[in-house]
Amino acid sequence: MTYSPTATSAWNSLQQQAESASAERITDFFTENPNRTNEMSVECGQLHLDFSKNLVSDQTWQALLALANQSPLETLRAAMFSGETINTTENRAVLHAALRAEIGDQKVAAAVEESDQRVSLVKQQLSRVKLVSEKIRSGDWVGSTGKAITDVINIGIGGSDLGPKLACSALQEFAHPNINLHFISNVDGAEILSTLKKLDPETTLVAVASKTFTTQETLLNAKTALNWFEQQLDLKDAQTTSHFVGLTASRENALAYGIPNEQILEFAEWVGGRYSLWSSIGLSIAISIGYDRFEEMLDGAREMDIHFQSAPAEKNMPVIMALLGIWYNNFLNAQSIAVIPYCERLLLLPSYLQQLDMESNGKSTTADGQPVDYDTGAILWGQTGTNGQHAFFQLLHQGTRLAPVDFIALAKDNMSNEEHHRVLLGNMLAQSSALMCGQKAPAGEPHRYYPGNKPSNVLLLKELSPKNFGSLIALYEHKVFVQGCIWNINSFDQWGVELGKKMANQLLADNSDSSAPLDASTQALFAYIESCQ
């Protein structure tokens, strides 16, 4: 039978409850149930989530859990982990979890053998990441003039950039002291040209990171880097030298580009681009923090995978976060979710999560090919605290829109000191509390009214270790997956990005296809730009 979330009894019940939800106060829930914080807190490894400050009564919470239960979540979760082709529009399995699995992890009898074979393949592919990263870190990998590598440029975009860039920034506490990582993604030439200007080609290595090895931006940036090496070092075919490695699921395309076979670090096609930091796309992470710590990161993700597969829904961190998001998105008309890390090293987390969440769940066709008649993925945005407090928090406290917040912080920070960290955490806790509690306006000063009743989660990591970072990213991966299951959409394709790519190619080709002429505005803008050259 075809599933639709809106046809479930839980959806119906939630709709009814939503009508009275705005009259409820989160603070009253705490008065009614003094044990609320305890009941609405969960742990996974060194991650602690307090979700008690949500506009969710006990009754609503039960209905949300029922919604998960009435959805195909359980079946699809088993299907994903056991390697079934759940990405139907691309005819692919979805197995990023296999990148951090161990032999024997798979418990579905029919899938054990295949799973163990996959894990062996992954281990083999990751052993190349270990080998290459260790050679670079130790100075044994030398450029064409025999000098050790001091600078690594990861050229990639989307999933081939955001994950490694975030991980290297988040885990800078563990960074190699003498090797600098650079990330070039945008096709804006100013980015790569200004980076190259600062570097010495003799000691620079380029990692061309692209699942497909066909992405326009990546190939143009790689070409610019290639020309730079050739001109500066008087080289021919620089892509064949030790200044280039390729990270890809298409060995064939990387070979055709000229990268030598032994300098290609491959990963499997069943790893989605936005889930690829755990694969050889993560080479830059292993170079920066060392392979052992890269493995710790994988281990943290695996811990979350196991939790996601085994914890009951009411104690399951990804399921809980997904259900709360659905409550606000589909029943209380919130159009966005804010992610605010109180940690400057996690500055890039919101932009990483934008791809993970919005490319996965920004869909309007169901898995059965029907148009959806309910909202799907929310707009995800964010910035670090306390900086955000001095920018957009005004809207969170007194604006007219509902924007639930995920506050993320480190209980302990080895890179800070006691005084700073106390102030940072104090601010985070105060914001989460102020959003919920609000405050009456003093007489005659209506502008000082804080309505409160604004929901937030607080997610604490004991510390920002590679392991905890891995758990954090896997948590959001699974949250997005759960929402996709409930919305009955394919979270693993990204057809929405194709049209713009095609039109850019058409526009740049200069041989306009007369059967698909550009619209008048675009033609005029193009002509204006040309007249300025």
Residues in 180-199 that interact with ligand F6P by CB under 6 A: none
Let me know: does 87 contact 505? Beta carbons within 8 Å.
Answer: no
Q: Does 216 bind ligand F6P (CB under 6 A)?
A: no
Among 46, 52, 106, 218, binds ligand F6P (CB under 6 A): 218
* Catalytically annotated residue among 202, 295, 303, 359: 359
Q: Does 470 bind ligand F6P (CB under 6 A)?
A: no
The 3-state secondary structure of 105-137 reads CCCCHHHHHHHHHHHHHHHHHHHHHHHHHHHHH
130 an active-site residue?
no
Q: Does 316 bind ligand F6P (CB under 6 A)?
A: no
Q: What mask, x for binding ligand F6P by CB under 6 A, covers residues 340 to 369?
A: -------------------x----------
Q: Does 494 bind ligand F6P (CB under 6 A)?
A: yes
Angle at 339 between CA 338 and CA 345, to 5 degrees: 145
Tokens of 146: 């025999």
Beta-strand runs (E) in 233-374: 244-248, 264-266, 336-342
Q: Does 504 bind ligand F6P (CB under 6 A)?
A: no
Helix spans in 267-311 (H): 283-289, 291-310
Per DSSP, the three-state class of 532 is coil
Mark the segment that binds ligand F6P (CB under 6 A) among 69-77, 205-213, 259-267, 308-316. Answer: 205-213
Residues in a beta bridge with 380: 337
Q: Does 157 bind ligand F6P (CB under 6 A)?
A: yes
501 an active-site residue?
yes
Q: Any long-range contacts for 111-117 (C-beta under 8 Å, 24+ apart)?
A: 111/81, 111/82, 111/83, 114/83, 115/82, 115/83
Tokens of 369: 């090919």
390 an active-site residue?
yes
> 215 vs 384, which CB is nearer to ligand F6P?
215
Q: How far apart are alpha carbons 223 and 217 in whole angstroms?
A: 10
Per DSSP, the three-state class of 274 is helix
Q: Does 158 bind ligand F6P (CB under 6 A)?
A: yes
> 210 vs 432, which CB is nearer to ligand F6P?
210
Q: Does 497 bind ligand F6P (CB under 6 A)?
A: yes
Mark the segment that binds ligand F6P (CB under 6 A) among 101-109, 154-162, 331-339, 398-406. Answer: 154-162
Among 143, 201, 273, 318, binds ligand F6P (CB under 6 A): 273
> 77 vs 274, which CB is nearer to ligand F6P?
274
Number of residues near ligand F6P (by CB under 6 A): 14
Q: Does 274 bind ligand F6P (CB under 6 A)?
A: yes
Q: How far is the CB of 219 from ligand F6P (least distance, A)?
A: 9
Edge-to-edge strands, sheet with 405-410? 41-44, 47-50, 456-461, 405-410, 336-342, 379-382
Q: How far apart are alpha carbons 323 and 67 in whole angstroms?
A: 8
Q: Does 491 bind ligand F6P (CB under 6 A)?
A: no
Angle between helices 291-310 and 112-138 (to 10 degrees): 150
> 7 vs 256, which CB is nearer to ligand F6P?
256
Tokens of 342: 């109180």
Enumerate the active-site residues.
Answer: 359, 390, 501
Report the interface residues with ligand F6P, using CB under 6 A.
157-160, 210-212, 215, 218, 273-274, 359, 494, 497
